Structure 1
Amino acid sequence: MSLNISVIVPLKNEEESLPELAAWIDRVMRENKFTYEVWMIDDGSTDSSWQVIQQLGAENPGIKGIKFQRNYGKSAALNEGFAAAKGDVVITMDADLQDSPDEIPELYRMIVEDGYDLVSGWKKKRYDNAFTKNLPSKLYNYTTTRMSGVKLHDMNCGLKSYRRKVVKSIEVYGEMHRYIPVIAKWNGFRNIGEKVVEHRARKYGTSKFGLERFINGFLDLATIMFIGKFGKRPMHFFGALGTLFFLLGFIIAGYLSLAKIFYDKYNMTDRPIFFLALLAMIIGSQLFLTGFIGELVTRNASERNTYLVEARLDNAQ
């Protein structure tokens, strides 16, 4: 019998909230007659979270867990959860009770009935600190939307639902969990929806995220944008830039050479622009060689010719 829903809960030091969260999820699932599993991914907790997960699993076979030996981050926890999930619809949520399991039925319906590949929650009314979380979050969402073309109000909301094929087709690492909708889009899953969800005040513990997430988030966005466009053809990026720089330097050097020939009074090496031309040609050559190296790495990568195929028609007899 197939599972309707897999719930993935990444966590670190959430021993107090886990029993309440597990009971809440179980109640919602029973009321809606869903078959389900819950994967609680312990990301290097230093409290008794794992012992709590083991106890919950003994009481309810639907509660399952993975414990990391050390803290790897939310992306790693989600990636392991995606690999383990067996449900037709996969739902992610945080363990701190700020995400409401009461949203699960509608998130499930939007995937199964409305045909979305991914539905992201939108915490329209938040209970976070306006200066440290709300304003940076708005700036982050605006920048990501402009760069990626994925129009969501709350890209980083932990409460999301996915068609099973989506989570089996993407890989998240570093801090890239913030950009899962962007990664899904680059993998061909363009039917991305949004749902206003309840955001609850934190009941136990404190936030596990610091200010460094903003710097890491920007760097990961740049990585995703580059890999999405040029991951299988790096020469198109580095080669184009290298050619542009080299031509710029070559044109400047040509101009200086003609000036030297026809106006003898100019000494090429006495002019600052000569060194600019030289620098441009050197940078251009380096970028071009980087493109070649990137192509060599790509051609020897195990996934160099791995592509997601949505459908296949084969009438061969």
Structure 2
Amino acid sequence: MSAVIETGLETVPGIEAPELSLVVPIFNEEESVGPLIERVMDAMAAYAGAWELVLVDDGSADRTLLTARGYLSRPGLDLKIVELQRNFGQTAAMQAGIDTARGRLIATLDGDLQNDPKDIPTMVQALEERELDLLVGWRKNRKDGLVLRKIPSWCANYLIGRITGVKLHDYGCSLKIYRASVIKQVKLMGEMHRFIPAWVASVVPSSRIGEMEVTHHARQHGTSKYGISRTFRVILDLLSVMFFMRYKARPGHFFGSLGLGTGFLSALILAWLFIEKVIFGEDIGGRPLLILGFMLFLSSVQLITTGILAEMIARTYYRDDAQPNYIVRTVFRNGSA
């Protein structure tokens, strides 16, 4: 076996697609990537179908990529390594892996050894038996710090479930199993990997999304890429998710409703002031209510025109293919030279 270098993510002609693709974004995980590959091979040894491992190097500054490339010649391992041009973030790296995955089913997991690959065959079986499109891992016995990880996670899971309507115990677990035909309909942007179940619920019924308890290990190498500040980003992202789930294809309705509401209030205020001026002869020039009425009128005009512009942008988005949120430098795969 020898490494073959590609320049894009196109499927290689003549190579049969596997049943399952394992997608793992990695960033500065030089101590973890070797043991990760070994654990994946051990865990998938009993899997009956063909599978591939897709590693996405998200601009690592250490020896992560070099260490991973050392496994390209490993017999019995269908490995592809996607090297991104720089660090684009976990969401973009996950999207790159999903785009290049060739399997009918796709499994995603973290590269820090906290997810256990041994759960994957069982999850695949459960997904098929329960006829689901997405099976989410639930780290019931989570091996993380209480203040920095567990409490913010509990709060985020509660808020996401309340707003999106998709009730899960653990939105943040990266260990998930998807049907490729479904997840490839979803484009992940920003830091929206935390809300994948919500995005999937926008293309399939929430009844086809389930969860399953999985094993969770304490981090062995390196440092966590997350901190308490993530909680504030989650709240902002959650507002974006709520907007896109309800008004993605009709943003004009959102801004237009606000514009009509403020316009109605403006009309009431100005009408009342007109009556006071014309009928009762009162001086309204210095009244704050007049300023408020005109400000509401201007806000109404701005909101309605913003809605029109948003509708135009949305129609352009759905007419043209959106550009990927990552740039691939090189793709390495093992194969015959």
- Considering fraction of residues, name the structure with more helix: 1
- Following superposition, which runs of at least 4 residues in structure 1 exceed 6 angstroms of deviation? none
CA shift digits 1:86-141 (9 cap, x unpaired): 11211110111110111011110122221111011111111211111111111111
1:207 to 1:305, Cα distance in 2 relative to 1, 3 A: closer
CA shift digits 1:264-300 (9 cap, x unpaired): 2x32122211111111111011000111111222233
| Structure 1 unmatched ranges of 5 or more | 307-317
Equivalences for residues 154-193 of structure 1 within 5 A = 154-190=170-206, 191-193=208-210
SS in 2 for 1:270: coil
Normalising by structure 1, we get a TM-score of 0.92
Percent identical residues: 35
Q: What is the identity, as a one-letter code, of the residue corresponding to 2:271?
A: G
Which residue, out of 237, 253, 263, partners 1:220?
237
Q: What is the identity, as a one-letter code, of the residue corresponding to 1:38?
A: L
1:141 to 1:201, Cα distance in 2 relative to 1, 3 A: same
Equivalences for residues 1-317 of structure 1 within 5 A = 1-60=16-75, 61-190=77-206, 191-264=208-281, 266-303=282-319
CA apart distance, 1:233: 1.4
| Number of aligned positions between the proteins | 305
After the TM superposition, which of the residue ranges 78-87 and 216-225 deviates more from structure 2? 216-225
Counterparts of 2:160 and 2:81, CA distance in 1: 32
SS in 2 for 1:210: coil
1:234 to 1:201, Cα distance in 2 relative to 1, 3 A: same
Q: What is the identity, as a one-letter code, of the residue corresponding to 2:142?
A: R
CA contact (8 A) 1:53 1:64 kept: no
Q: What is the identity, as a one-letter code, of the residue corresponding to 1:144?
A: I
CA apart distance, 1:2: 4.2
1:183 to 1:212, Cα distance in 2 relative to 1, 3 A: same
Q: What is the identity, as a one-letter code, of the residue corresponding to 2:273?
A: L
Counterparts of 2:27 and 2:179, CA distance in 1: 26
CA apart distance, 1:189: 4.7
Counterparts of 2:90 and 2:151, CA distance in 1: 22
Counterparts of 1:14 and 1:20, CA distance in 2: 10
CA contact (8 A) 1:117 1:166 kept: yes
In structure 1, what is the equivalent of residue 10 of structure 2? none
CA apart distance, 1:69: 2.0
Counterparts of 1:153 and 1:113, CA distance in 2: 21
In structure 1, what is the equivalent of residue 335 of structure 2? none
| Structure 2 unmatched ranges of 5 or more | 1-15, 323-337
CA contact (8 A) 2:135 2:212 kept: yes
SS in 2 for 1:31: coil
SS in 1 for 2:65: helix
Counterparts of 2:212 and 2:233, CA distance in 1: 26
Normalising by structure 2, we get a TM-score of 0.86
CA contact (8 A) 1:89 1:111 kept: no
SS in 2 for 1:171: coil
After the TM superposition, which of the residue ranges 112-121 and 267-276 deviates more from structure 2? 267-276
Of structures 1 and 2, the one with the larger relative CO (CA 8 A, separation 6+) is: 2
SS in 1 for 2:70: helix
